[in-house]
A and B are shown apart, each in its own frame.
Chain A
Amino acid sequence: MSTAGQGHQTPPWWAALPPASVGVPCGGGTHQLRWEQGGLVAADHPDAEAELVLAALGGDRTECIELAEAWGSRSDDLEVLAVGPRSAADELTITRDEIDQLRLAGLGFRGSRPLIAGGRGATLSAGRSAAAAAGRGGTGSGPAVLARWLVRGRHIGLLRGAPARGHASYGTVGSSSSHRPIKAPSAPGAAARSRTVLSYGAPERDRTRARQAELLSLLTLSPALALRLTGTVAAAWADGGSRAGERAAARPALVAALAGRLAPAAQSWLGIDPGQVEAVLHEDAGWGQLTMTGSGSDRKLRAALPAGWLASVWAAGLAVTGGHLIVAVQEAAWPEATVLGVPEPGAEPVILKVHAAGDRWILGAADGEQATDGEQAGGGPDGSEHDDGTA
């Protein structure tokens, strides 16, 4: 081992990640969405671009294409960092039905039963499953189809049929009350104003909920894909990424994303309370800085790491390997990687060769040289292509 050297060509952020795929219901069957080399592709739709063009012209849009398109539109969305997993142990447990409810929130469809028989694993969303149930191009009926309209923004008719909106009431303990929506019976312009109020607020909220549902649909495709989407977004804001030039405005979100993911890794590395981990964004040359202050319960880990750490190290599950906090990837071609690891705060990083074995990284080359179990905090590589089955 030697002290970290300079002059390495930085590998692409995804170089330490294996491909991953997931099955999704599409067109009455199950299709594969496949992630590899930093991008998500609809494996069963070889001419996806042509399908997108047709969809833009009013044609039907398949589930695979919708998801791949949503993935692309979220590839630099900082909300992914706010919502996505903080560690491999951080499970996103929301169900498909709950995501459907979220889509329908505020429109009066408050049913808690699954909208579509089959439940988790059978559908991606109410809208999509409704389309699947009705067949391609079928009309379908019921809330699921209405939900599809909502997702696509055609929900004006629903609002007309929704319960009275725009009012709320409250009362005191031990009191009873009745508050109908306060109305302006026949005042000139009052009705127009009411409609203005509704149209001002409701579609915006509905769009927000639909976007939340879309994001949750992506992040719950599979844990492996959730990590990869998080890495994709972080890479967009890291040096060399598509949004790197606008990083100043995104700094608060990136600092929080870094702190939120470094904290559990540091807990695994040092046993430190995650609340005692402070992070800033390192934006100069080099890998950054790690210092420890205080002692006992007052000790604090202060870290300065680049945004790219989230993509190339954390998303790849390398954060804590072989008792080191990995701070940079120098070379990688999954399942092999050469990384910089810090053995303890304040120490200089050392170069480590690691390789993926099973669901963890271990020290040493693939032939077993210097093989030592790595401590895994970020999760990720599993030795073979990820396939989480049907989403």
Chain B
Amino acid sequence: MGPNGAWGWDAGFVNAGQAETYLRLRAETELRRALTLPRFDPPDADGLPGPLRAAVRLAQPGVTLIANAARPALPLARRAADALQPMADESARALQPLADEAARALRPLAGEAARRLQPLGEQAARRLRPFAKDAGHRLESLGWRAFSAVQTLGNRTTGAIMSMQRQAARATGSLPVKPGTATGHREPSADEGVHRLRSVASALVQAGAIESAAADSVLAGLQTALLARSRLAPHWLWRQDMLARRRQAAGAPAGLYRAVPVGITVPAAPDSGLGDTRLLALVIAPDRAAMTAAGHRVDPPGQVPRWHPRAAMQGSRGSWPSATDDRGNSYQLDLGSWSGGEDGDWTGTLDISPVPAAGIRWLDLTVSPGSEPVRVDLGDVSRESSGAAGLPPAGGPVDRLFEAAAENLLGYAARHGDDVRHYQGLAGIAESATALAECGALPPACAALGRLAALARHLGVDVPAALSLGAAEAELPEAWTSVLENGRCRDGRHCTAAAAAVLPELDGARFVLAGLRSTAGGAQLRVLGWGQQFDPYSLGREMDGPWSWWAHDDRGRWHVLKADGGGYGNGHSDVQMSLFPPLHPDATSLEVTLTGSSGRVTATMPLDWLVRT
């Protein structure tokens, strides 16, 4: 029995183990393919990955500066380099066929350095920025030289990097490939092959065709086989382990979850390089309390940064905001996490310690010593509603696979307009559909598959045969039609909203909506989570996990939500969800709907728009 079909003369062996046999044979095929690929190039004694080494040898002085500056910072640099190795390998392979374009895009740098270093440089910049505090201390003696080099590199090559990133993504299938270009025929790397198999395994597990332990065993066997043949680096497994830790979350702790909008403006500290900061929402849960915040950087782009959200929250005497409750208890606030975009806007979370008791009625917040406290009333403002009338019915696990693929396509269409015709993202779900069909786990005339195929046809996207064969005739749900109709809108207000709501428990997880930032082309919703279970097979490739998020504003627009950044730890998550298309400029409330494996929950939150200064 091969992975591509049954043959009649002795098919009896595949009953209970049909899906496992299928998956194991796929793994054999993947191993055979990977053996045609180059071997892993190990790091040097200082931990610099092979591709980076090659780039340093060939690159301009600016690039060498980064490497030289990084060396004294060992072991930080070594750890960072270790972490970057898989990405470097992947990026190098991904960009291999794009050498010509890369050379044009990155003319100031040598072609080889450009091809290998720029994706890495972008990754390095992204990775080093989160280390800003730590790295800042370590590099201070170098007079910000290294950090400036990273920054300079980033600024000089942003356009080129973005261009190459798009092309790399095209090559990996998440962005469109123009017909006739060679970039669509790149040979996937060994770890991409593992991810492909992981997606198929995930589909089979979700459909109940195979036990997760058996799927894990197949994937582990393939990884070890690739490792044994130097097609994967040990670091790759380390990174995978790190990502896999996210799946250890237990259920959300029992108890009261409260969220209230705040809407307080904190004036910027002098010379911080920042505009005023808005406190958006206060969240108190049984084991965590936090305040979400947003702000704007006022430094001119390209200038060596002196801004940091920490500066925004610290008063002139370096003190942090504090709070007291109605029972006389005192609390401290400290910056937990933050993220910023190139437009200068940033959002973040202030952790409150200790966690206030569930029954408190208000918090008096003192932003800086001597300032007048501002009271945050903890009256329950969360609103649950039945909502979600325009969405397709919540189906079974196989349906959700196809719904998720449709949501990805919708989100893409909303962002990329006519380019959606070249969307390549259906290849993965087609592979999963093939696996489900061959293992007898695809329902005949699957309605969700029908809706996905109908959506793809509506958008002019090629529908792989594996999807069209099993698809039933279907109409597009109202929510999807709304997203498509408003996909070209760029009329969202540029504003933040103090908004908060608590979603009812779903699949053992709790989510709290804690602040919203709107732009002309979309919006970002801050979501704090507890007990979130991740798809153990996605390992960072599918950040939304098994959830489906939708929102409906009170002006009738539907929005699809996709995770595009965040952090996880100790059973908590802190995620930024992007909404497409933008909120209606006159929207005053937003109904958010979450669908999981056991059902669907909805909460409505009023939008208290804060005027930007």
Contacts and interface: CB of A to CB of B under 8 A. Distances in A.
A260 B39 CA distance: 20
> Can you list the 7 inter-chain pairs with the closest CB atoms, starting with the nearest?
A185-B353, A82-B221, A167-B569, A186-B354, A179-B567, A177-B339, A256-B24
B32 A180 contact: no
A178 B338 contact: yes
Given A112-B78, A193-B571, A105 B234 contact: yes
B82 A256 contact: no
Given A82-B225, A249-B17, 19 more contacts: A79-B220, A94-B227, A94-B230, A98-B234, A111-B47, A112-B44, A166-B248, A167-B567, A172-B564, A173-B162, A177-B338, A177-B567, A183-B351, A183-B569, A193-B570, A209-B241, A252-B24, A255-B25, A278-B7
Contacts of A189: 253, 287
25 contacts: A79-B224, A82-B217, A105-B241, A113-B45, A169-B567, A170-B543, A170-B565, A172-B564, A175-B339, A175-B340, A177-B129, A182-B569, A182-B570, A183-B569, A186-B353, A190-B287, A194-B570, A197-B570, A251-B21, A253-B20, A255-B21, A263-B28, A278-B1, A280-B10, A280-B13
B433 interface: no
Interface string B160-183: 011001000000000000000000
B35 A182 contact: no
B372 interface: no
Contact of A82 (B9, B224, B288): B224
A185 B21 CA distance: 48
Contacts of A280: 1, 10, 13
Contacts, number: 265
B237 interface: yes
B229 A91 contact: yes
Interface residues on A, range: 35 or more
Nearest to B352: A185
Interface string A4-42: 000000000000000000000000000000000000000
Given A168-B568, A170-B543, A185 B355 contact: yes
A166 B540 contact: no
Contacts of B162: 173-174
Given A113-B45, A166-B570, A259-B28, A187 B287 contact: yes
A302 B7 contact: yes
Contacts of A174: 158, 162, 341-342
Contacts of A179: 130, 337, 339, 566-567, 569, 574
Interface string B415-438: 000000000000000000000000
Interface string B515-534: 00000000000000000000
B246 to A, nearest CB: 6
Given A105-B234, A167-B567, A176 B224 contact: no
Interface in A128-179: 164-179
Q: Please indicate which of the listed interface residues A172, A183, A185, A291 has the most CB atoms of chain B within 10 Å of its own CB.
A: A185
Contacts of B133: 178
A202 to B, nearest CB: 8
B339 A171 contact: yes
Interface stretch (A49-57, A115-123, A212-220): A212-220
Q: Please indicate which of the listed interface residues B35, B564, B567, B569 has the most CB atoms of chain A within 10 Å of its own CB.
A: B569
A164 B567 CA distance: 13
A366 B393 CA distance: 74
A275 B29 contact: yes
A324 to B, nearest CB: 23
Contacts of B445: none
Contact of B42 (A79, A98, A180): A98
Interface string A226-261: 000000000000000000000001011101100110
B90 interface: no
B137 interface: no
A255 B354 contact: no
Interface of B: 1-2, 7, 9-10, 13, 17, 20-21, 23-25, 27-29, 31-32, 35, 39, 42-45, 47, 75, 78-79, 82, 122, 125-126, 129-133, 158, 161-162, 165, 214, 217-218, 220-222, 224-225, 227-230, 233-235, 237-238, 241-246, 248-250, 253, 286-288, 336-342, 351-355, 540, 543, 564-574
A201 B28 contact: no
Nearest to B165: A173
Q: Please indicate which of the listed interface residues B162, B245, B250 has the most CB atoms of chain A within 10 Å of its own CB.
A: B245
Contact of B78 (A94, A110, A249): A110
B32 A274 contact: yes
B246 A168 contact: yes
B228 A175 contact: no
Contacts of A171: 126, 130, 339, 565
B569 A166 contact: yes
A172 B250 CA distance: 27
Contacts of A215: 224
A343 interface: no
B303 to A, nearest CB: 14
Nearest to B570: A194
Contacts of B31: 86, 260
Contacts of B337: 169, 177-180, 182
A170 B565 CA distance: 5
Nearest to B154: A174
Interface string A260-283: 100100000000001100111100
Contacts of B233: 98
Contacts of B43: 112
A181 interface: yes
A88 B589 CA distance: 67
Contact of A110 (B82, B227, B229): B82
B244 A205 contact: yes
A90 interface: yes
Contact of A83 (B126, B221, B253, B287): B221
Contacts of A260: 28, 31-32
B238 A182 contact: no
Contacts of A79: 217, 220-221, 224
A113 B122 CA distance: 26
A93 interface: yes
Contacts of A72: none
A176 B245 contact: no
B377 to A, nearest CB: 22
B196 to A, nearest CB: 16
Nearest to A178: B130
Contacts of B567: 167-169, 177, 179-180, 182
A52 to B, nearest CB: 27
A220 B7 contact: no
B7 A168 contact: no
Nearest to B337: A179
Contacts of B341: 172, 174-175
A383 interface: no
Contacts of B568: 167-169, 182
Contacts of A200: 248
Nearest to A284: B10
A350 interface: no
A208 interface: yes
A275 B32 CA distance: 9
Given A102-B234, A168-B243, A184-B287, A255 B13 contact: yes
A350 B604 CA distance: 78
A102 B340 CA distance: 35
Contacts of A180: 336-337, 567
A209 B230 contact: no
A200 B571 CA distance: 12
B43 to A, nearest CB: 5
Nearest to B218: A82
Given A94-B228, A112-B78, A193-B287, A177 B569 contact: no
